[in-house]
Amino acid sequence: MLAGRTALVTGAAHGIGAATAGLLTAHGARVLLADVDADGLAATAAALPAGSTAVLAGDLTAPGHPAEIVAAAVDLGAGELDIVVNNAGYNLNARLVEMSDEAWQAMLDIHVTAPFAVLRAAGPHLIAAAERDRAAGREVFRKVVSITSIALMGSAYQANYAAAKAAVVGLTKSLAKEWGPHLVNVNAVGFGSVDTRLTRPRDADNVLHLPGGDVRLGLSEKVMTVAAQSIPSGRVASPQEAAGAVFLLCTPWSDWITGQVLLATGGQVYGMSG
């Protein structure tokens, strides 16, 4: 289905990003895997078909790095880039009245500014490829998929995270109009609770290593139990189930879908509450 296509997936070392990369390569795409976790990237790449991936580790919030990963993806595609998946992210939970300026800004940096910078660098390649196809009499849609997570539900103790994800909705809908004439579909996926490092129990091993210091990930078991009870099936999604929604928006089956937030929540209707 995606033979000959080249994709860039950020946050590809674990969870939904790794599962998305697996689906893309299984259907013929070449994928540039990007993440801050070099060891995790290597493990993800090793589990995928030989020759189907390249990796580039680095901090997506560092100046110039978004352009570097886009350039690496274009190199992998021999000058072409067809799919961009903005998946990288993490959370810094706190009560709003106790939230630091740094915790607020960090969420904007990784969830809003980083996708903006990636798409700013990728845009010329996506548009040029579509225009070349159009000049040759072919109509081929390129794809952008970002993650809005709980933006439309909100969640207690995650005002910074939810606000940043809500900004991605505006970015998505605006770019869908701007790039639509160039046959670039721009969509997003809004998840509910998914079994990833962000939602697993907080413990000493559940840590994200960032250049500025380590971040403890995870939620309490009580919170996740309540979240599972709010889903009709009684459980949270697997990364593979979540990745299926992302994959759909990367395929030709979504050519007539743009400017949308696809809710892949399993029927979950609310986030965490106090």
Q: What is the mean pLDDT of residues 166-195?
A: 94
With a cut of 60, say whether residue 272 has pLDDT above it.
Answer: no
- How high is the pLDDT of residue 274? 47
DSSP H helices, 77-181, are: 101-108, 114-135, 159-179
122 vs 92: which has the higher pLDDT: 122
pLDDT, tens only, 124-163: 999 999 889 989 999 999 999 999 987 677 777 889 999 9
Q: What is the mean pLDDT of residues 12-18?
A: 96
- How high is the pLDDT of residue 227? 67
Domain 6-264 CATH assignment equals 3.30.390.10: no
Buried b (16+ CB within 10 A) or exposed e, 19-35: bbbbbbbeeebbbbbbb
170 vs 194: which has the higher pLDDT: 170
Phi and psi, residue 216, nearest 5°: -75, 130
**DSSP label at 265?**
S
With a cut of 60, say whether residue 261 has pLDDT above it.
Answer: yes
With a cut of 80, say whether residue 230 has pLDDT above it.
Answer: no
Q: Is 157 a catalytic residue?
A: no
270 vs 72: which has the higher pLDDT: 72
pLDDT, tens only, 207-219: 777 777 766 665 6
Q: What 3-state class would DSSP assign to 43?
A: helix
pLDDT, tens only, 51-60: 999 999 999 9
Q: Which of 233, 234, 237, 216 is nearest to 225 (CA)?
A: 234
With a cut of 90, say whether residue 254 has pLDDT above it.
Answer: yes
pLDDT mean across residues, the chain: 90
- How high is the pLDDT of residue 96? 93
Locus of tokens 């078909």: 49
- How high is the pLDDT of residue 127? 94
Q: What is the mean pLDDT of residues 223-252?
A: 84
Catalytic position from the list 90, 157, 161, 270: 161
